[in-house]
Amino acid sequence: MSQPAGAAVAVEGVDKSFGRIAALRRVSLWVEPGEAVALTGRSGSGKSTLLSLLGGLEQPDAGRVRIDGRAIWREPHPARARRELVGFIFQRHLLLGTLSARANVEVALIGAGVRHAERRRRALRLLEEVGLADRAEHLPSELSGGERQRVAVARAVANEPRLLLADEPTGALDSRTSERVLDLLFRLREELGMTMVVVSYDRAVGARADRTVTLIDGQVQSPSETALSAPPV
């Protein structure tokens, strides 16, 4: 695998509301290239909203979100920018139930216009990387929860993203399986040099991350908040 550099993440004074509910208020956050950040907080604190803003799935009401200086939402082709910069992992693996594990990984490569033979080769290599070479032709319904999540990880890194966003990737897994998935995630992050932001309640994630950022009622409340409020030098 090539070694793409991690992306720099800059969130400056971001507000986001859904109707009358303010999900994020004046949130600022900088993540250095290659850094792994654990995003914690109670349910409804705005973690997933912040993640979706980082991935360009939503537009902030105010403030700026930039990944390597690019505001995905404002790009002429947001889907392309997302593909080039970001990989997503969700709590629910969100695999396409009618497709095999291999085909699920290939789906990410279809968007990038990779040719059929090359797609197949790369998908198989990625499945081998996550330890599922022998399960490549199995449907999601034939895989365990941990295996499905590993397929989702393979899909997320298929386009060699510079920023990996994971929304409670171990939330639906038992502790042993969670540990395996986290091993995989942090190993891939090391190998690929990706920047990683992981939303999780799991303390194990915080322990492995470079730092932890806590959101309370839509605002950053981490011990290192002050340090995070200014751009990295």
Partner 1 sequence: MFAIITTNLLRSRARTIFTAGGIAVGVATIVALLSFTQGLRDTADEFIHLGGSELGIFQANVSDPTASILPAASVQQIAAQPDVAAATPLLLMVETVRADPSAVVFGAEPSGFFTHNLVLVAGHRPRPGAREVLIGDRLAEQLHLTPGGALVVQGRALRVAGVYHAGVLFEDSGAVLALAQAQQLTGRAGEETDVVVQLAPGARASAAGAAIERALPGTQAISDPQQALRAGADGTLISNAILVIVVIALIVGAISVANTMAMSIMERQGELALLSTVGWSPVRVASLIFGEGIALSTLGAALGLLFGVIGGGLLVSALGVSAYVSPSVTAWGLGRALLVGVAIGVLGGIYPAWRVTRMTPLKALSGT
Under rule CB under 8 A, residue 55 binds partner 1: yes
Q: Which of residues 72-91 bind partner 1 (CB under 8 A)?
A: 77, 79-80, 82-84, 88, 90
- Count of C-beta atoms within a 10 Å radius of residue 85: 23
Radius of gyration of the chain (CA): 17
Under rule CB under 8 A, residue 232 binds partner 1: no
Measured in degrees and rounded to the nearest 5, phi and psi for residue 10 equal -130, 120
Q: In what order do the strands lie in the sheet with 21-31?
A: 21-31, 9-18, 62-67
Under rule CB under 8 A, residue 94 binds partner 1: yes
> Does an H or E element contain 185, and which?
helix 175-192
Residue number with CB closer to partner 1 (21 or 207): 21
- DSSP class of 205: H
3-state secondary structure of 16: strand
Residue 16 in tokens:
């986001």
* Sole binder of partner 1 in the list 44, 111, 223, 232 (CB under 8 A): 111
Under rule CB under 8 A, residue 62 binds partner 1: no
Shortest distance (Å) from residue 157 CB to partner 1: 11
Under rule CB under 8 A, residue 30 binds partner 1: no
Residue number with CB closer to partner 1 (111 or 231): 111
- DSSP class of 59: -
Under rule CB under 8 A, residue 58 binds partner 1: yes
Length of the chain: 233
Binding interface with partner 1 (CB under 8 A): 52, 55, 57-58, 77, 79-80, 82-84, 88, 90, 94, 96-99, 103, 107-108, 110-112, 155-156, 158-159
